[in-house]
Structure 1
Amino acid sequence: MGTRTSGFYRHDLDGLRGVAIALVAVFHVWFGRVSGGVDVFLVLSGFFFGGRLLRGALTPGASLRPVPEIKRLVRRLLPAMVVVLAASAVLTILIQPETRWETFADQSLASLGYYQNWELANSAADYLRAGEAVSPLQHIWSMSVQGQFYIAFLALILVFAFAFRRLFGSHMRAAFVVLLAGLTIASFVYAIIAHNTDQATAYYNSFARAWELLVGVLVGAVVPNLRCPMWLRVAMSVTALAVILSCGALIDGVREFPGPWALVPVVATLLFILSAANRNADPHTGGAMPAPNRLMASKPFVALGAMAYSLYLWHWPLLIFYLVYTGETRVNVAEGAAILTVSGVLAWLTTRYVEDPLRQRSGPSAAVSPASPVPLRVRLRRPTIVLGSTVALLGVALTATSFTWREHIMVLRADGKELAGLSSRDYPGARALVDDARVPKLPMRPTVLEAKEDLPISTIDKCISDFSNAGLINCTYGDPDADRTIALAGGSHAEHWITALDLLGRMHHFRVVTYLKMGCPLTTEEAPLIMGSTRRDPQCHTWNQRAMSALIADRPDYVFTTSTRPWNTKDGDVMPATYIGIWQKLLDHDIPVLAMRDTPWILDEDREPFRPADCLADGGDAVSCGMDRAMALADHNPTLDFINRFPNLKPLDMTDAVCRADTCRAVEGNVLIYHDSHHLTGTYMRSLAPELGRQIAAVTGWWTD
């Protein structure tokens, strides 16, 4: 089974584990890709951990004690993680703007609680968090998956052994292998389904990853001693290593895992395990062991494997903090080499002075040294007790600090509920641009910490379908008893106008009915890119078909939606060709469209969206945290090129109420414009209501301004 107590320990797998994590670090630092090394690591974890438990619980006459196993896991996993989290917390305070501290606090607690993968899955599914900066703790998702698997597998094997030992007797192992095989197949099928439904969230899903650990358990249980010719063993190990080394270059794991392509690194790892699954093989003398396995069992690779866990923990936060500090998106060769070197040094120190002392038990001897009346065992334990206490205090301090900061943010946002009642004289917002209103010298509102929750009421009411939901959610705002109706339809860039439309509807007596889905404009595209992301939404097309059928059946007086988008690769904005089919269908049914030009996105020099609130929190000002208008907006509204072809289009353009002639600033009229990189704050949107009302009145004739 490849465990030390069996007398046959697979040192070559220790070396492979080191190579896998080194590949993870190298591909992260220099190539910005997933190497497949984490998948290798998951299989090996299942092989080592599952093998020991199977032997301990399913062998007749043997027993499994869960408490010592859990203690062992805690000693093995938590100390190094706590040290890295504590260091990351200090660097976050020193380097990151305070707008990112809340996310770090949430993810620190998630990492310590071993649910970081679910925290990241929720973030991936939350459109409001889709544009968040990459977390320095993002990589701990795989540690969370392993921790959850360890506890679940331990519970499973205990229940199975207790319930069925008498029934199956000597066939316990075979029965449990059948159960594991069924769970493995179920997890793999689920992974494929989840991958096709929403790959970004499936990537972090424990159930979609469990099969990778389970196959490691199965290979150790089913094939402990494989007998086959040496030439075949060599071919297996050479092929496995070649595949593992090249996986990151050939497969885009960020988009393809945990679906069927994850079989590539998983099967390669199984081949490498099986290539030396021979109890007659000696990893130290090389007897009956293929040359690649002997290489992996050599001291340098085994040493790398010994500090693989710490190397994995350290390399990612060092990379992210360096990029934040420099303001770059990539590192060059020299910078990457320096990050890897520092990561290696810190990993060795952590392994040598934190992991090893706390993982190893004290010796059994209680002899008294001639030089001291204190038992030797007691004297040896004292440094370990001090170290363990220090690590525990770090963990407590980190937990307390994270909860305290979250509570502080909650209090600030509770105090920010009065944003809806800010004086228009003190906080003119858009009126400073449209009406040249006087702007007194007052602190900006919402503050950088309030902005995140200054959201449309429809978001708060959950009146917008999320990424995984293709169903329609209709809510009514404005004057619900009015005879006139505006249907607000599309994605979140249509949604954030609900704040102004709700005010206008109550004032001028029209209803606003929502037909909204996150990241999904009205389009005929099969799987459009989610706005502000590199992800595609396979649910969007289905939702669009339902939304259009409902709009045609409901026949609102007007459909309010966005008619343009920024170019992905060049300056300016465009009306996408995939919108044309929507205009035609609405024209065919004589439904007019209030076609709103899309909100300018705040982009950096590399055309990547960034958050003005982060920039302001980091010491920037309204100008430096904005951008040139020409980056996001063409000289004229692209919708105007289509009004002759589609007379049902009624163009609306509010960009002069958001941007000045040459620049789009982060703050106007004492009001922060954006709550992220491309959605307007509710406070600024309220200041836009008068101008939006003037434009809608001019188009509809429903009232006179």
Structure 2
Amino acid sequence: MVSKSAVAGSVGEGASSGVRGGGGFRPDIEGLRAVAIGLVLLYHAEVVELVPGGFVGVDVFFVISGFLITGLLIRELERSGRVSLGRFYARRAKRLLPATGVVLVVTAVLTWLSVSVVQWRVFGGDIVGAALYVVNWVLAGRSVDYLAEDVGVSPVQHFWSLAVEEQFYIVWPLLLVLVGWWVRRRTHARLRPVMAVAIGVVIVPSFVISLVWTASNPAVAFFVTPTRLWELGIGAFVAIGAPLWPRVPARVAWVLGWFGLVAVVVSAVVLTEQVAWPGYAALWPTVATALVIVAGFTSGRWGAASLLAWKPAVWVGGLSYSLYLWHWPLLVTATNLWGELGGKKGLLVAAASFVPAYLSYRLVENPLRFSKGLSGSNRLSLSLGGNFTLVGVVAGLVLVLAVPTSTTNPEQDQAAGAQALDGQEAQRDAGEGGADGGADGDATEAPPPGSVGSLADVEWFTPQPAEATASVPSAYDDDCQQNQESAEVVVCEYGDLESETVVVVVGDSKILQWQSAIEAIAEDEGWHVISMTKSACGFHAGMQVANGGPYTSCAEWNENVLAQILEIDPDAVLTSQRVTTALEDATNDETRSTQAMEDAITEQWSAVADADIPLIALLDNPSPGMQEYDAVYECVAENMDSLEECTFSRQEGYESSSAPLQQAAAERVSGVHIVDMTEHICPGETCVPVIGNILVYRQTSHLTDAYVRTLQRQLAEQLVPAVASANS
């Protein structure tokens, strides 16, 4: 699967004083770079009806970079028998890092101006990762982090491909130096054949890893270096064979060149985001690119190289690195400010990026790249690059440190929140008031529950919006939730491990969000609690959809976890879930329905009931729905003086949750006990973002751990009798 926001061309090398292939200027390669950046721009500008596979531009750039860098290094080895690593890295530093530093500073400013404060810390960290060229690993980790589901599109997400290249630039010269040393010690060894073998030893495993990871973990495979090295290696092989390619007959080269160029363009038109990438499908544009480069050695006047050498194409190719750096932050900023751009607005923003790209090319890149003072000193060039890297790091850290932090005591605030909730219930029982009061509050005296009026002091509630996503139970730190890739059942135990009363907690993050309260209840009641949860995977017998395809590991996990529950034979099973649809046909992604999920829940619960194991369903909490915001805490961050903007209908929240499905399934399975915490989460007809002095919601519809802890007594009032009746 390919995400638009994940794709950007890798254009870090070869646009300096002209692209050199076999040692001479290759304008056709500059033109090929123009094709690649053009495909990426169209794709990012959301002109997907023209180039749904425009992401192949990245792979074209990888091949070109592998060709250029390997050619440069191998010619130096042949000329002098050695590679000057200092000179190599100095050239990269003054070529790439100054422009990068400037763009990252501007990106940090644009991020500060255009996104909510709740995103600053994450995106500031991304900017630091981009400056250090490790952001591809940051993005890979986030792609499988369930707790990062609310994170928007990173303004430096396009740096993942540059990070791959920079890591390649570190490893590749060292490999070639090692090969050169080995060849010098053996008088009969020939450099290029030995080099080909050495590169093959690297890229063959890389291609195998790409196939395996793309099939098993595509979100990670897309970003990480091991799955991409083989693409750069294809370009390296072309560079090694440079002495052979001029011998290719002109007519053959003519056919290869046009075939390769057409194949690159067709791949962008035919391939879609649904293709698992990179994997074997990436052979299409990468091999096609290699054919174009090979043909350019000798294809003649009417070959594809003559078209690619067209002066406007060469000009765009020379600008491609700078253009690549600038276009994505501008597109992301425009989207943050104006919403989805669509093709026309996207093209306008992409076209506008030529202006800063050209200015930075003329005012930053070229003056430093061609500076005589820098050219004469590797140390000075490396120092310059290091300073610009430091500038990028500082820009990211400033954005991180700009996030406000709470100065209140979380434990005191949670206690105050619980006390306020008790007071609210007493008021309701006495008929003296509802949950829609409008008083202000502060950090020492909790305001009335459900207060949604103006706030004199933004620090009176906890957690602060920017810290909401970190308010999760300890189960996440303890790795108690299985990820989306594995079907193995992860078991965590708490409470009284010697107790005869055993309660199994099973499901997705919606049951795990209650862990702190359940654990406290278990300790008070002397229960032995066994937790078995999996990311985004409910306890049912159906097939969900995840990441655009069937969630097969969830189905396998459910089989495994049911077998373990039947073997344990607990006193009760406690479950909840978020997902509301399943596939009627497990092989067809278009057959999702709520009825299929209801049937799947019923089947799984029935299997538990048939084994005479009592089942307790903790109903899903109301799901927030706000058109302008992705999450409650983000709305709160943007509306501190008017929290009414962050309310939503209790009825609509109930209907958009999975609670109706759970209740419907409970009616079909004998003996299921319902635990409903809705009145404590949404006390009135309108759900409010803050109760007492506790922020209620974190990611999407999940509750903050801070608020869950205040509900221990209310949960115990329903859960303890349910477990007791199960044992009677």
Moved more, 70-79 or 535-544: 535-544
Matched, 1:238 2:258: yes
**Structure 1 stretches of 5 or more lacking a match?**
282-287, 365-376
**Deviation digits for residues 578-604 of structure 1 (CA, Å, limit 9, x no counterpart):** 333322321232222212222333344
Deviation at 1:413? 8.7
| Worse-superposed segment, 240-249 or 486-495 | 240-249
* Bigger Cα displacement from structure 2, 203-212 vs 441-450: 441-450
| 1:357 is the counterpart of 2:367 | yes
Asked if the contact 1:27–1:248 (Cα under 8 Å) also holds between the matched residues in 2, the reply is no
Shift of 1:213: 0.4
- Equivalent residue for 1:187, pick from 206, 231, 234: 206
Count matched residues.
670
**AA at the equivalent of 1:529:** V
Whole-angstrom distance in 2 between the partners of 1:536 and 1:169: 56
The one-letter code sitting in structure 1 at the alignment partner of 2:531 is T
* Correspondent of 1:176 among 169, 188, 195: 195
- Residue 117 in structure 1 maps to residue 136 in structure 2: yes
Shift of 1:485: 1.8
Equivalent residue runs for 1:430-469 within 5 Å: 441-442=441-442, 443-469=460-486
Contact 2:571 2:726 in 1 (8 A): no
Percent same amino acid among aligned pairs? 27
Instruction: Give how far 1:103 is off.
Output: 0.9
1:541 matched residue in structure 2: 555
Cα-to-partner distance string for 1:182-207 (whole Å, 9 max, x where unaligned):
32221111001011111001110100
For 1:314, the equivalent position in structure 2 comes to 326
Q: How far did 1:543 drift?
A: 2.6
Among 210, 213, 217, which residue is 2:232 paired with?
A: 213
Asked whether the 8 Å contact 2:636–2:646 carries over to 1, the reply is yes
Q: 1:324 aligns with which of 319, 329, 336?
A: 336
- CA deviation after TM superposition for structure 1 residue 474, in Å: 1.9
* Pick aligned residue for 2:394 from 391, 397, 400: 400
Q: 1:486 to 1:246 in 2, by over 3 A?
A: same
Partners of 1:108 and 1:429 in 2: CA distance: 46
Distance 1:467 1:397 in 2: 37
Where does residue 495 of structure 1 map in the other structure? 512
Residue 625 of structure 1 and its aligned partner are, at CA, apart by 2.7
Q: Deviations over 1:309-357 (max 9, x none)?
A: 111111111111111112x2x2134422320121111111111111111
Shift in CA distance, 415/312, structure 1 to aligned 2, threshold 3 Å: farther
How many angstroms apart in 2 are the aligned matches of 1:91 and 1:178? 47
**2:49 maps to 1:27:** no
CA distance in 2, matches of 1:77, 1:417: 48
Q: Distance in 1 between matches of 2:692 and 2:408?
A: 23
Where does residue 625 of structure 1 map in the other structure? 646
How far residue 446 of structure 1 moved from its aligned partner, in angstroms, is: 1.3
Contact 1:3 1:51 in 2 (8 A): no
Instruction: State the match for 2:60 in structure 1.
Output: 40
Unaligned stretches of 5+ in structure 2? 1-13, 443-459, 583-589
The one of 472, 487, 495 equivalent to 1:470 is 487
Q: Is the 8 A contact 1:430 1:684 kept in 2?
A: no
Matches of 2:92 and 2:426 in 1, distance apart? 60
Give the Cα–Cα distance (whole angstroms) in 2 for the partners of residues 359 and 165 of structure 1: 33
Letter in 2 for 1:577: D
Q: Per the alignment, in what secondary structure is the counterpart of residue 494 of structure 2? A: strand
The aligned amino acid for 1:613 is Y
Q: Deviations over 1:511-556 (max 9, x none)?
A: 2211112222223345x334xx656644333332322221111111
TM-score, normalised by the number of residues in structure 2:
0.84
Within 1, Cα distance between the matches of 2:441 and 2:408? 24
Residues 268-310 of structure 1 deviation map (CA, whole Å, 9 limit, x = unaligned): 21221122232xx6xxxxxx14443211111100100011111
Using the size of structure 1 for normalisation, the TM-score is: 0.86
Gap change, CA 1:351 and 1:618, over 3 Å in 2: same
Aligned position for 2:604: 582
Residue 481 of structure 2 aligns to a residue whose secondary structure is coil
- Name the SS of the counterpart of 1:651 in structure 2: strand
Q: Does 1:687 align with 2:687?
A: no
For residues 482-531 of structure 1, what are the alpha-carbon distances to aligned partners after superposition, in whole Å with 9 as ceiling and x for unaligned?
321211112211211112211222222322211112222223345x334x
Contact 2:47 2:343 in 1 (8 A): no
Closer, same or farther: CA 433–24 of 1 in aligned 2, 3 Å: farther
Give the structure 1 partner of residue 317 of structure 2: 305
Match of 2:570 in 1: 556
2:172 maps to 1:153:
yes
Distance (whole Å) between structure 1 residues aligned to residue 341 and residue 290 of structure 2: 34
Secondary structure of 1:106 counterpart: helix
- Of the three residues 65, 74, 84, the one matched with 2:103 is 84
Aligned match of 1:285: none
Does the 8 Å CA contact 1:43/1:216 hold for their aligned counterparts? yes
CA distance in 1, matches of 2:91, 2:229: 21
**Following superposition of structure 1 onto structure 2, how do residues 265-304 of structure 1 map, counting pairs within 5 Å?**
265-278=285-298, 288-304=300-316
CA distance in 2, matches of 1:427, 1:440: 16
RMSD across aligned positions (CA): 3.5
Given that residues 571 and 614 in structure 2 are in contact (C-alpha distance below 8 angstroms), is that contact kept between their aligned partners in structure 1?
A: yes
CA spacing shift, 1:440–1:347, aligned 2, 3 Å: closer
Deviations 1:336-387 (A, max 9, x none): 23201211111111111111111124299xxxxxxxxxxxx99xx9xxx9x9
Q: Which moved more, 1:423-432 or 1:437-446?
A: 423-432
* Deviation for aligned residue 1:557: 1.2
